[in-house]
Structures are given as C-alpha cells and as structure tokens.
Chain A
Amino acid sequence: AQSVTQLGSHVSVSEGALVLLRCNYSSSVPPYLFWYVQYPNQGLQLLLKYTSAATLVKGINGFEAEFKKSETSFHLTKPSAHMSDAAEYFCAVNQAGTALIFGKGTTLSVSS
C-alpha cells in the first residue's frame, strides 16, 4: 500500500530563511505526489504535483519540490520564507486513481 511520511510535525523559520518541509513516500510503483497547503479555517489548496514529467516541480507562491526516486523523497522548498507562508502543509500520494493518502502534516511557523 502507498503511504507518505512527513518528518517534523512543526517547522519554525525566520522571515527570509529557507523553507524545507520533508516528505518520504512508500510505493511499489511510480507514484503521483502532491503538496497541499491549508490556511487556518480554510480548505486545502494545491501547491504542486509530480506526475513524472519532470523531477523538479515548480508550484505556486514560490514553492518547488524535487522528486528523488533513489531517496523516495519529495521535499518541499522555498528559498525565502514570508509571513504569509505560515500554514499547515500536507504531502499526499494518489492511490490508484482514487483516494489521496495524506501525511500527518507539517505546521510551518514564520517569525519576523
């Protein structure tokens, strides 16, 4: 069965610092991977997705993620954090065209 593991339930950075949110997947076949963001009291918004077209995926709001098969990872990065990036971030894998299987989420805090 497919699954994802997000390392670190809470990450704190200073404004302007690098953001790195970690996600490792477990899949017996090449997966489709997603990063979603959830702002307080809102639904989930897609940041980016990997569909095997390119290993480096660029998303919205300056975020990007790199698919590394050898490390079974799909870490999310942003060169310079902004206060508005404070939110909860979820990594997810699609299971056979049906359900998204989500990680437990990482809360990103950004301090000034």
Chain B
Amino acid sequence: DSGVTQTPKHLITATGQRVTLRCSPRSGDLSVYWYQQSLDQGLQFLIQYYNGEERAKGNILERFSAQQFPDLHSELNLSSLELGDSALYFCASSVDPAGGQETQYFGPGTRLLVL
C-alpha cells in the first residue's frame, strides 16, 4: 500500500459526459501528479500540482482540468468524454519534486470506460 488513495476504482460513463476523479496523497506529500495509461499511448504525464499551485503540464487535453485543494487532495475533471478517453488514470505524490530524485508514489488508479 503506497498510501495514495484514489476514488472511484472503476467508472463507466457515456460519451459527452463529465466525470471527476479524486486523489488523496500520502501524508506529508505536497506534490500531486496525474498520469494516463492507455494501450496505444502508454503512461503519459498529464499535470502536476505542488501545494495548491499548478507546477507543470504535460499532454493534458483542454477538456481535462485539475486542481489541488488546501487539504492537498486533488481532483481531475474530464469533460465532453470521448471513447478514446477510456484509460487507467493514476495519481502519484511526492514530498517535494525539486531536483527530480524524489520517489513518486502511485495510487491504485481509476479505470475509466467511456461507452
């Protein structure tokens, strides 16, 4: 158990809908990352927050947005969903990302299926 929790574990929805994925980082970790894992794209970085502020953006679509709240939990919002958004979405956390050697601890993921 990494200490990172994600809810829900599974999500089935229809095209055009909007969903929210939730992540609670490990106790003491200030940085949260979101990754998408799909068969064709592999593991891709979406976005990072550090202590409530956006730190870095990756291949995140404009239909997707995220935020980190004062209690440090984070939410990833996916809207106008398309079939291609079906994937496993991981949240990871680390204490302080500065330098790059810190370990990122991954949650169990949310499996999203868009029908």
Query: Which residues of B lie under 8 Å from residue A102 when comparing CB positions?
Result: 42-44
B14 within 8 Å of A (CB atoms): no
Given contacts A97-B98, A99-B56, contact A46 B103 (CB under 8 A): yes
A42 to chain B, nearest CB (A): 6
B108 within 8 Å of A (CB atoms): yes
* Chain A, range 37-74, C-beta contacts under 8 Å to B: 42-46, 49, 51
Query: Which residues of A lie under 8 Å from residue B45 when comparing CB positions?
Result: 98-101
- CB-CB nearest in chain A for B104: A100
A99 touches B108 (CB 8 A): no
Cα A67 to Cα B56 with chains together (Å): 28
A109 within 8 Å of B (CB atoms): no
A98 touches B103 (CB 8 A): no
A95 touches B100 (CB 8 A): yes
* Chain B CB within 10 A, most for which of A44, A46, A96, A101: A44
Query: Which residues of B lie under 8 Å from residue A90 when comparing CB positions?
Result: 43
B48 within 8 Å of A (CB atoms): yes
* Chain A CB within 10 A, most for which of B43, B92, B99: B43
Given contacts A98-B56, A99-B56, A104-B42, contact A43 B107 (CB under 8 A): yes
- CB-CB nearest in chain B for A46: B103
15 CB < 8 A contacts A-B: A32-B100, A36-B106, A43-B2, A43-B106, A43-B108, A45-B106, A46-B105, A49-B103, A94-B101, A98-B33, A98-B55, A98-B97, A100-B35, A100-B104, A105-B42
Residue positions of A touching B, CB distance < 8 A: 32, 34, 36, 42-46, 49, 51, 90, 94-105
